[in-house]
Structure 1
């Protein structure tokens, strides 16, 4: 059983996947398994992955294109590590990410932890101030803004179990973290920058106007809140999302 399972969905990421692979192979902690589920890519993504013969890299090819949540769930089904963490196929970890996060979680007896991450353009050049891991995360404050980014967070599956993603939602990561935090009191921050997030111009997560409805459904459908309560949390999320990416507030 490896110490940590890394979960990655891939879809047409031939432009970036090699950098992501390099960042995992460079980790100072080597006791990991990396389960990549390719979501029916039509480019050379899988060919690039298959060039690496490292037995710790496990490639699953989805039978159909089911979206990132579906791909992550297929990887999670195979995961056997105590710690679970996520890395999209176009993002990047600093070499000490896994080691620092696991040592921190063991020292602090944390069930969930998250770190700072750099917010970069497509060439991994920082564009605005790093996103800061500066608050203890609870279910209640996560309702208003999703501070837990997949690429800089980790949870202890031995203590909280595996948590799968709701398929079909564009906000599946937020729902997953909320469901985890229903089980435990808090997630703890590690205020070190150990990851780089590519902010694509066309990124769904940056296009707030297009996903207001999806965010509303996080509360209405997945949390089973009333319409008024769902609108209240959606408004809070939208305001916090603006502050998260506005240079004026960072």
Structure 2
């Protein structure tokens, strides 16, 4: 049984996919399985994945486009590893990522951990300052800003169970992390930069004004907060999001 399960949704990612694949194959830590769900791509992503001759890679091809959260859930259902981690099909890990994260989880007896990551342009060149894992994460402080990024986080499914992504939310990663942190007291920071996140100019996640309503629904529909409490946390999230990505603060 593999010690780590890597979960990846893939949708029309052929332009970046080979770099992402190589970053996984280059990992110093070898005891992993990689569950990739292609979300009905129309490019040649599936062909690229199928060319890899590695039995640790398990490909699922979805007959319909259900979104990244749904694709991750399909992979999570098949995951058998103790430690769950995520890597989107256009992101990148340094060779020491899995080794350092697993070692840190065991040393700190952590149920959830996250690391720094570099924020890069589409060519993986630095764009703004690295995101820093500078504090312990709790349910309460994650309400105001989502410090946990999928590509630089890991949790122990043996201790906390698998946490699936909610259907219907465009902020499914934030909801998933909040639900996970309802079950554990704290996520611990590993202050090393071992991953690279591509900041696409068209990225929905960075257009804060376009997803204010979606973020509000995280609190109102998924956390079941009152209207006033939901708007309070939405306002905090918006301010923190501006500071997180603005070059003024980076």
TM range (shorter): over 0.9
What is aligned with 1:33? 33
**Cα deviations by residue, 1:50-100 (Å, 9 ceiling, x for unpaired):** 000100000000121000000000000000000000000000000000000
Q: Which residue of 1 aligns with 2:137?
A: 137
2: CA distance, partners of 1:167 / 1:75 = 15
What do residues 88-121 of structure 1 show as CA deviations (whole Å, max 9, x unaligned)?
A: 0000000000000000000000000000000000
RMSD across aligned C-alpha pairs, in angstroms?
0.4
Equivalent residue number for residue 9 of structure 1? 9
Does the residue aligned with 2:186 lie in a helix, a strand or coil?
A: coil
Q: How many pairs align?
A: 250
Q: Using the alignment, how far apart are the partners of 1:102 and 1:59 within structure 2?
A: 24
> Which runs of no fewer than 5 residues in structure 1 stay unpaired?
none
Q: Once the 2 structures are TM-superposed, how far is the Cα of residue 169 of structure 1 from its aligned partner?
A: 1.1
Q: Which residue of 1 aligns with 2:90?
A: 90
Match of 1:78 in 2: 78
Tell me the distance in 1 between the aligned counterparts of 2:210 and 2:56: 38
| 1:123 matches 2:123 | yes
Q: When the two structures are superposed, what TM-score results if normalisation uses the length of structure 2? A: 0.99
Distance 2:209 2:93 in 1: 29
Instruction: Render the CA deviation track for 1:182-211: whole Å, top value 9, x for unaligned.
Output: 001100000000000000011011111111
SS in 1 for 2:66: coil
1:158 maps to 158
Q: Give 4+ residue runs of structure 1 displaced > 3 Å after superposition.
A: none
Distance of 1:61 and 1:204 partners within structure 2: 24
Deviation by residue 1:202-229 (Cα, 9 ceiling, x = unmatched): 1011111111100000000000000000
2:193 match: 193
Q: What is the 5 A alignment of 1:192-231?
A: 192-231=192-231
Q: Retained in 2: the 8 A contact 1:69–1:168?
A: no
SS in 1 for 2:15: coil
Q: How far apart, in 1, do the equivalents of 2:35 and 2:135 lie?
A: 30
The CA distance in 1 between the partners of 2:212 and 2:194, in whole Å, is 30
Give SS of 2:151's match. helix
Q: What TM-score does the superposition give when structure 1 sets the normalisation length?
A: 0.99
Show structure 2 runs of 5+ residues with no match: none
